[in-house]
Each structure stands twice: as C-alpha cells, then as structure tokens.
Chain A
C-alpha cells in the first residue's frame, strides 16, 4: 500500500504518450519530411521553390479563389446550419427526426458524384432544372449558371453545411434552458432571445463548426475540379493536382510548396476559432440536471415546416433524385422516362462484379478501422485538451487540423515516401497505409465533435466518480463516454463516411489486396460510366441510411448521426 502510493503512476500518461507518439510517427514525420524535401530540393537549404511557386500570378489567383469560395461556403454553411439546427433541435417543428436525417444525407454521398448531379441540373445550356424553370416562367435564358464562383460556392455549401449542422445541433440540445428562460422573463421575444442569448452562447460551437466547413471546402478537390475547371476557376487543390500529375520529383516539390498554404490556412482558422472560443465555453451539462425544453413555434410552426421542407427538397431531394435517375438511364441525352431508356443494368453491375463486392468489403474494413482508431485518438486527445493542464496539450489538436487541411494527394505521396521501408517502417501496399491516410485526413471531424461535447460536460460529474473510487479509464467508461456518447458515435460516422468512399488517396495507395470502393468509383467516374458511379453512390447512400436507421432503432434514438 505504502509502495503503491509512493510510485503512483497515472495510467492516462501511457495512453497520451502512445497517441502522441503515433501522431508523430505517422502524421508529423511524413508531412515534415515532405516539407524538408521541398526546402532542401538541391541538397542544401533553398527557398527557390517557394519563390517560384508564390511568384506565379496564376497561383495567386488560385489562392484567392480558394479563400473566396471557402470563406463564402463557410459563411453560408453556418448561416444555413444555425437556423436548421435550432429548428430541428429546439423547436416543435413537424418531422424533426426526418429532417435531421435528411440534412446529413449530403455527407453520405461522394462530393464528385454530387457535383456531377448539380452539373446536370444547373448547367446553363441544358441543365434540367434550368430548362424546367425556363419553360415554367418563360425565361429567355437560364436562370442559373453553375460555372461560376456562385455555382462553386453553392455546391460546396450544400456539401459541407452538414458539418456545421451536426456540431451546432448537438450544442443546441445541450444548452441549459434556464439561460434562455431568463431572457424571456426579462421581456425578450423568442426571436430576441435567439439573437441575444442563444446565439452568443452558441458562439464557441459556431466558431468550431465554421472551422470545419472552411477547412473542408478549402481542401476539397472533387467539386472544384468538376464545377470550377470548366469555368476557369482554379483553386489551390486543383492546382496542386496539376503539379502532382506532372509525375516528376519537381512536380511533387511544387505541389508540396503550394500545399503549405492550405496547411497554414487551416492553422490560422483554428487559431481564430480558438481565439473566439477563448474562455467562453459556457454551455455545460452541469451536475444539476435540467429538463430539456422546446420552443413553441406557435403560428409559425406550419410556415417554418414548409420552408424547411422546401430547403430539403432543393438541397437534398432534387440532386439525389438526379443521382438515382442517372443510375437508371441508358442514354444521358434523354430523360430516364423515355421509352427504352430505363435500365437496371448498372445496378446489376455493381452487385454482380466481384471486384466491387470485394472493394466494398475492403473499404468497410479500412474505414471501420480508421474511424475506430481515429475516435480513440480523438477522445483521448480531446480529454487531454479539455481536462488537463499539460503543457502543449493543444499540439495534437493543431496536428489533426493541419492534417485535415492538407490536400489528400499530398498526404498520400508523403506516406509513400516515408512508409515504404526507407525509414524502417514498411506498411506500403497494406491496409494500414490507407487507414493512416484516412485518419490523417478525416480525424478533425471526430476531434471537433468530441472536443465540443467534452467542453459541455461539467468536470464535477467526473470528480464525483473519482471520489467514488473510479480510476481514469473507469471514469471515461462510466461517466465521460455515456455523456459524450452520441457525439462520439456522430464523430465516428463523420470519419467513417468520407473514408468509405475516399478516392484520391485510395487511388494512390491501394494494392491488389486492398482495393477500395473509392478506387472503383473513380474508375467508373473517369472511365466514362457516370451511370455506374451513380448506382454505386446510390447503393452507398442506401446502405448508410439503413445502417443509421438500424443504429437508431437499436439504441432507441440515442445514437444516430
């Protein structure tokens, strides 16, 4: 007993050290190696590559485009997500559960598949929606042009607002209603309350959701390559791919140097969002339990439900219908309803082809690993960040953010260079290199989810368990995890989903035995079968929706995304 006290070693340090070590080896080292390579291209330190890249006016226009589109998507994404999260999370809107699921749907479709759907709907010449609107209102020209900054922002926003929606609606549901009640009692109308109390209280969550949307939009390749390129709107990511596909060592250096901008940008945004959050973490599950309350919309209930429904139709139902219609269309030049133009052969293809079934299995395994390992890292790092005073506890958070801001293609290349045996680790051509690539790229979503959940749990709840005799792991299991559980599950899905259909990195890292669904999707997308790609995306969507329903039913609505 005496000895035990004397040499007491906190078990949590083992975990923390292990995870920090993991991040150092598998994330920091590859990216730092790539940077060093860029600086030491000719054997000695040189800034040549930097001056070359950043003195090209073309590259600055890409930087500008990236900043504009990502910022606008962030602003619109949050502007859309906030009221939706409030309506769905805190009011007596009709069909809240249905809406909740619907609003997350876009997250379950690969961005390039969605981008193709929007392209078919809103291209200025024959876009289905444009043609429809023209004929209805007798317009002489198409009302929308997808090939514009506006079009790019629109598609990016519809794709990435779910990030903000998920973060905000969780925070919304955990808010202490008495804070709002105090506002009402002081004479504020519900709207006034929303702006004077709810909104300021939500500021930390808004900042963190804005970070997610910005980083995702800025480092997205699929959408700008499909929507932006024809309009000659190039972004940093499309530019990086230009450099990478040169296929030479210099090309890689140039790509790295340009990627640095995105990494720094992600950090700046993280810094700003942390600065905004600062000490203002006031939404907490206190030790005193309160009844969750809902705001009665009164006479606004029906109009607001209709408005929300309209949004869902425009942003979710129409493009998804377009994806599904495509998957049944023989000739894309004609309507799917035309005689002889309907087929189920693309669906047969995806279920009958061995390679697809096999890839789906591989993807499932690697993304389950990535999401599970990723969440373990996230939970422990979030705990470190929020519950300890360790010096440098925010470093992992920064690392995870940088990883997310790094373009996929750069991550994949850095892993090939460092993880194929030259430095003693050889996981090239195994499933693990993909799992690690996925984790680096997508852990941020899980991290933010857990951090915001954890900051809402009062430390006294945990102390109560500690004084009851529970050790660190036990407290995590009995108190922390159940309270942040829904956020952990949501975070898990947020990592799992993009990994499941991930394309760019998988395409570089797969081997015969680890071929993933994204590789297949990429093949069909690029090798001229939009329809098969659409069918595959549709199948993924259905699978995830079913999984979500099953999970929700099994846990009686407690866990779902």
Chain B
C-alpha cells in the first residue's frame, strides 16, 4: 500500500550519533522489524518515521513524498500513520470507545460511520464488550489492544509499533504476535515494528533490520539473518550461538585448543571466528569432528539443552530430548557440527552488548 524511503538518515543528539546514515526502502505491504538491543537507535528511527524526531541529515519519503528533509518537515499529525506506543498511551480520561474513535473524530468522519468502524475494529481486537470501560478498569493486555485498535481504526497506510508487546505476559505476547501479523496480512498495510525480542522479529517480519549503536548491521528475511548473518553481532543477537576461535587454511579450519578440524569451502583464510548454533551440534561417535566433556543437561520437554567443554571452550548444544540422561555427567562424547558460519577474527566480545 505504501513505500517508505530512508535516504541517508542520520540523527544526532548533541555529539552522540543515534542513527548513522541509514538508507533503505520499506516496500508496499511489508512487515519490517527494527531489531536491536535497547539504546541502539531503533526507537529513534521509528520516531523519525512518525515525525516526532527530525533527522539531523538525510531524507525520509512516504510514497515518494518528502516528509522529512533539510528544508521540509511534515508533522506527525499530517502523516496519516497509526502508532502503538510502548506505554500504550491510552488516554485515561476517555473510555475505550472514545479512545479508539479519536483519530476518526479528528478526520471529521460522520458519527454513524465512526460507530461502525470503531465497533468493527474493537471486534477485531476482541474488545467489543469493553467499549464503555475506562482504561483504568482494563488489564495491561486489554489496554494494549485499545492502543492497537486506535492505531488501526483510521486504516492507516503505515502502522508503527514501538515494542508493543514488551509489557505483556508470555502467553499473551505469543498470541498477539499472530494477531498483529494476521491483521497486517488482512489489511495489507505496511508495518514498522520495533523490538529487541528476536523471537518476535523472526515470527512476524518480512524483513528484519538489525541495528546496533545506530548502525545498520544487516537487512534480510528472518531466514537470511539467521542462517547467513553478515557479522558476529548479527549472529550473536539473532538466535543463540557459540563462538570458537580458529585458523582457516587450505579448506580446513583448525579450532583453537580442539583436537580436530572442520571442512571449509569458503574464501576466508587466516584467523577466524567460527559461529556454531547450539542446534547444529550433534552427538555422533562415528563422524565426530572433535570430542567434549558433558558438563550439565537441562530437560526442556522438546529438547535437551547441554553444556559441554572442549579444549577450554564452553559450548552450548541443543539436541534431541531423547538424549537426556543418556550419558553420565563428565562423560566424554563425540560431537558432529552440521553447520557453521565463518567470520574473519575479531577481538571484541559480542556478548557484552547483549541485553
């Protein structure tokens, strides 16, 4: 329905660069997630699209029309967007119906039509019976859905969501993910979704923008950023990962402190970081790339979550639930790596920026 173009958008607060030269295009009907640790600039990015912040430099266009640039600025109220705030921002002095009807009232929609539309959207978010309630009489999840209904009621071309699910309990959060996705699919609108939860990003997005310290790290489909992270940060932030140091030489990677090599057909040579996802480690005596000692296991129902040490590295392995209690503690077992990602070696410790 709508195209949002970011053209070298930079935002500084004083000397600190919060968003650094981001360019891209959110295409028609796309569900875009801005993913990153807190303080990475993703909310600022969203607020620039909404119009609450002005970019320090660069240009933002919606459907080809400039909304923010050096000499043009369209204020939020003229951008015709929908937005759900992290705190919901449900007006405490208005009841549910009045809260949701507000954007329509501003647009001077006839009364009958307002009633019809509000009822429809309240039904969509399962709040029909609460129309007359005041916000203080609602639970957090219900308030969140009021905020969502209000953002959707005017049928905006773009829906902006700022960590809308972070205040909800796990069960509700999971359900809301699918509801939001379903509503988006049904209406065919653009969604820009800000979260630090990679699970939400994975399940809902068409494309994920991974941001760190204001710098765009990678843009891709959930599968791409998971399977083919472009750097250690992305590999680490999206999903779980073990990092092993090693040296790549002649199609082989020798892992530091580990007696064994991995076959590698890529182009990176010399010192490398090898990222191995826990689910890509298998127990196998015959094809073992190397051996490790089992430290602990945790039964999660559908998997067995194990800690292993191998040559001074501690590794996490997630494997079949059936293997639980199959080995005794401290038993040395053979490990087979089904897949891994190789990066040129870096000194920084990626875990430190995790939240």
Count of A-B residue pairs with CB < 8 Å? 110
A389 to B65, CA, bound (A): 27
| A475 proximity list for chain B (CB < 8 A) | 77
A2 to B69, CA, bound (A): 13
| B147 proximity list for chain A (CB < 8 A) | 287, 464
Query: Beyond A5-B66, A483-B93, is A469–B140 a contact (Cβ under 8 Å)?
Result: no
CB-contact partner of B134 in A285, A287, A289, A460, under 8 A: A289
- Offer 29 A-B interface pairs, CB within 8 angstroms, sorted by A: A6-B72, A285-B92, A287-B88, A287-B89, A288-B90, A289-B135, A289-B143, A458-B87, A460-B86, A463-B52, A463-B89, A464-B147, A465-B91, A465-B102, A466-B51, A466-B52, A467-B51, A467-B76, A467-B77, A467-B82, A467-B83, A467-B151, A468-B106, A469-B78, A469-B80, A470-B77, A470-B102, A475-B77, A482-B91
| A471 proximity list for chain B (CB < 8 A) | 75, 77
| A287 proximity list for chain B (CB < 8 A) | 85, 87-90, 147
Q: A476: shortest Cβ distance to chain B, in Å?
A: 13
CB-contact partner of B89 in A10, A460, A469, under 8 A: A460
A8 at the interface (CB under 8 A from B): yes
Contact B136 A469 (CB under 8 A): no
A465 to B98, CA, bound (A): 12
**A470 to chain B: closest residue by CB:** B106
Query: Beyond A5-B66, A6-B71, is A466–B93 a contact (Cβ under 8 Å)?
Result: no
Per-residue CB proximity of A12-24 to B under 8 Å, as 1/0? 0000000000000
User: Which of under 10, 10 to 19, 20 to 34, or 35 or more describes the interface residues of A?
Assistant: 20 to 34
B50 at the interface (CB under 8 A from A): yes
Task: List residues of A (442-465) whose CB comes within 8 Å of B's CBs.
Answer: 458, 460-461, 463-465
B73 at the interface (CB under 8 A from A): yes
Contact A458 B89 (CB under 8 A): yes
A479 at the interface (CB under 8 A from B): yes
Task: List residues of B (90-116) whose CB comes within 8 Å of A's CBs.
Answer: 90-94, 102-103, 106-107
Q: A178: shortest Cβ distance to chain B, in Å?
A: 12
A460 to B76, CA, bound (A): 13
B81 at the interface (CB under 8 A from A): yes
Contact B76 A463 (CB under 8 A): yes
Query: Beyond A288-B140, A461-B91, A474-B106, is A5–B74 a contact (Cβ under 8 Å)?
Result: yes
**Residues in chain B within 8 A of chain A (CB atoms):** 50-52, 65-67, 71-83, 85-94, 102-103, 106-107, 134-138, 140, 143, 147, 150-151, 154, 160, 167
Contact B77 A466 (CB under 8 A): yes
Contact A464 B75 (CB under 8 A): no
Which has the most chain A C-beta neighbours within 10 Å: B75, B77, B81? Answer: B77
**A10 to chain B: closest residue by CB:** B75
A5 to B72, CA, bound (A): 6
| B71 proximity list for chain A (CB < 8 A) | 6
CB-contact partner of A8 in B75, B86, B88, B89, under 8 A: B75
Q: B67: shortest Cβ distance to chain A, in Å?
A: 8
Contact B76 A466 (CB under 8 A): yes
A391 at the interface (CB under 8 A from B): no
Contact A464 B92 (CB under 8 A): no
Cβ-closest 6 pairs across A and B: A287-B89, A287-B87, A289-B135, A468-B103, A464-B89, A460-B89
Contact A288 B167 (CB under 8 A): yes
Contact B85 A290 (CB under 8 A): no
**A284 to chain B: closest residue by CB:** B87
Query: Beyond A464-B83, A483-B92, is A289–B77 a contact (Cβ under 8 Å)?
Result: no
